[in-house]
Structures are given as C-alpha cells and as structure tokens.
C-alpha cells in the first residue's frame, strides 16, 4: 500500500493534490500536515486520510512520524503571500521547514517533490529556463532560491536520492477562494465582474503572465512520482497572456462586456512584467502537455458557475 505525505495539504495546491492522490491511489494512506495559516478545512471536503495540525518548521518530524514509512513526500507548505515582507518570518518558516523535512527524509531517502516558484527568476522578461541564475526581487522569492539551493546540495551529496523541484508559475483553479487577495488574478477579476464591477488591472494591462491551471500542476506532481532522476523543472502553461487578454477571456465565458479599469502599479520595484515558462526540459522528461489559459480558464469558470462539479483531478 502506498503512503504519501502532503505538507500544506489544506492550501490551494496542496488540497487539490491530496484529493487527487486519494482518487488515483485508492488504497493509499495519505497524511496531510497543515497549520491553516494559508489553508482552509473546507478545501479537504471528502478527504479520507490523516490530518496533522502542525507548523513544519517547528515540528519534531521523527517523533511525529516514527511509525510511518512514506513512499513520497510532497512539500507544498509555504508562506505564500508575496506582499508579506517580514524577512525573518518568511526565511524561518519557508527555509527551516524545508530543511527539517529534508533531514527527516534523508534517513530513508524518501523521494521528495517540492514546490519552488517562478519568482526565483526575478524581474527578467521573456522565456525563463531552469539554467538562468536566480534574481529574487523580494523575500518570498529569496526563500524559494534558498530552498532550491538546499535541494541541489542534497542532490549532489546523495545522487541516488530523488528530489524534484517544480517551479510554479501563476497557478489558478478550484479551491483558491480562501486566499482572498492572494488568490490568482483569474479568480479576483472573475469576482469583480460577478459583482458588476469593471475589472481593475495595472496600467495599461499589457503585463503578461504564464497562467497555469492547477489541474496541470497536480498532473505534473503525480508524473514526478515516476521521475528517473532528480532535478528542478518549470511548471507553467508556456502560453503567456496579458491582463487585457484575461479580461477578454473572462467576458467571453461569462457573457459580459466589462471594460478594464486601469490604475497605477504600487509594486513596480519588485513586479514581474512578463512571466513565461520554457517547458523544454519538463516536456522532454515528463511528457508534460498543459492546457492553454483559454481552455483552462473556460473550465474553471464552468466550475465556479456551478456548471461542472468541483473536481479532484
């Protein structure tokens, strides 16, 4: 019987992953760890596994899991609010949490699949590939760079131990509503239109984002279970769209005609104006074939509008 651990399993991506694992591996034991700082119990409706209420940066891993042998650890826990600039809190919780996890997993060389971020690329524009030097523009991105550094250290130290990092681009999809202002632009603009308001975007809406559907993120995590080697991979759609295009897609799928309302960007000093995942490595090693934002957003809106059931992917 398979046994999986998902940290941050009550959060947006973590809950979708925990429920998808439950569906794909029906007899598996699945353990979720979360402290609810950026998660919600409602996301785990239908979850049949075990739940541990804990902060992973302070958890005694060996004591908590002394009687369990995991087949794979999925690490999704993180302070995800990029506007939280408390440097010590971000660094301690994100980096030390991952350090403790790796120290625990090292003993049995349990495979680890963890969430990195496209924020590590900084303010660079154009296609972003995994060989680019990191250029973090805020403390959140800095912590993700350090997590990647830790992962590479163990990859080199123990080549037989499988560690996979997935650099998430702009993820959107079901089970993100609890994030409120930290939810995806797709969800935030959808809510504004549904409230009868003009969608508000930064001047003049030509900033581009690589929006990736959470369904594809989950599928890539599951594909990574069978990875042949360690590595860090981009996880995006490879199809960036502008905020203006996003408004058009939302209007089209909702049957509305709300024009954008433009305002000044207050985060210019650390704002990425163009994100785009180079998926060459991910496609070659995993056969990754993500949906486009045009397809994914249409599916998401159908779910939000109650025309499709909430999925487990």
Please say whether the beta carbons of 247 and 258 come within 8 A.
yes
Please say whether the beta carbons of 46 and 73 come within 8 A.
no
Beta strand 208-209 with 241-242 is: antiparallel
Instruction: Return the structure tokens found at 89.
Output: 């809190």
- 8-state DSSP, 302: H
Please say whether the beta carbons of 297 and 186 come within 8 A.
yes
Q: Which residues are catalytic?
A: 140, 179
H-helix or E-strand spanning residue 97: helix 97-106
Nearest-angstrom CA–CA distance, 12 and 39: 7
Listed residue (85, 209, 200) closest to 142, CA to CA? 85
Listed residue (81, 125, 43, 65) closest to 312, CA to CA? 43
Residue 189: other Cβ atoms inside 10 A:
23
Listed residue (86, 66, 80, 89) closest to 7, CA to CA? 80
Instruction: Give the 3-state DSSP-derived string for 115-147, with helices as H, strands as E and coil as C.
Output: EEEHHHHCCCCCEECCCCCCCCCCHHHHHHHHH
Please say whether the beta carbons of 199 and 260 come within 8 A.
yes
The shares of helix, strand and coil residues in the chain, as percent rounded to the nearest 5, are 40, 20, 40
DSSP calls for 230-246: -EEEEES-S--EEHHHH
């Amino acid at each position: 019987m398979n046994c999986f651990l998902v940290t941050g399993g009550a959060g947006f991506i973590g809950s979708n992953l925990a429920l998808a694992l439950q569906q794909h591996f029906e007899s598996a034991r699945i353990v979720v760890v979360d402290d609810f700082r950026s998660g919600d119990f409602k996301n785990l409706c239908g979850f049949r596994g075990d739940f541990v209420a804990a902060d992973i940066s302070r958890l005694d891993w060996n004591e908590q899991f002394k009687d369990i042998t995991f087949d794979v650890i999925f690490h999704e826990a993180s302070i995800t609010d990029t506007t939280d600039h408390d440097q010590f809190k971000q660094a301690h919780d994100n980096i030390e949490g991952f350090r403790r996890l790796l120290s625990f997993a090292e003993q049995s060389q349990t495979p680890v699949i963890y969430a990195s971020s496209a924020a590590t690329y900084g303010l660079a524009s154009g296609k972003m590939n995994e060989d680019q030097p990191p250029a973090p523009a805020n403390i959140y991105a800095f912590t993700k760079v350090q997590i990647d550094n830790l992962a590479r250290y163990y990859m080199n130290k123990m080549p037989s131990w499988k560690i996979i990092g997935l650099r998430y681009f702009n993820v959107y999809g079901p089970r993100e509503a609890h994030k409120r202002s930290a939810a995806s632009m797709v969800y935030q603009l959808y809510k504004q239109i549904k409230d009868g308001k003009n969608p508000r975007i930064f001047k003049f809406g030509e900033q581009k984002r690589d929006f990736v559907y959470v369904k594809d993120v989950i599928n890539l995590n599951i594909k990574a279970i069978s990875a042949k080697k360690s590595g860090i991979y981009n996880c995006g759609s490879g199809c960036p769209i502008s905020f203006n295009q996003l408004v058009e897609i939302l209007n089209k799928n909702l049957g509305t005609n709300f024009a954008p309302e433009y305002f000044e960007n207050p985060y210019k000093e650390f704002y990425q104006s163009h994100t785009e995942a180079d998926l060459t490595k991910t496609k070659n090693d995993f056969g990754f074939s993500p949906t486009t934002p045009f397809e994914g957003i249409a599916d998401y809106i159908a779910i939000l509008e109650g025309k499709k059931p909430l999925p487990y992917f």
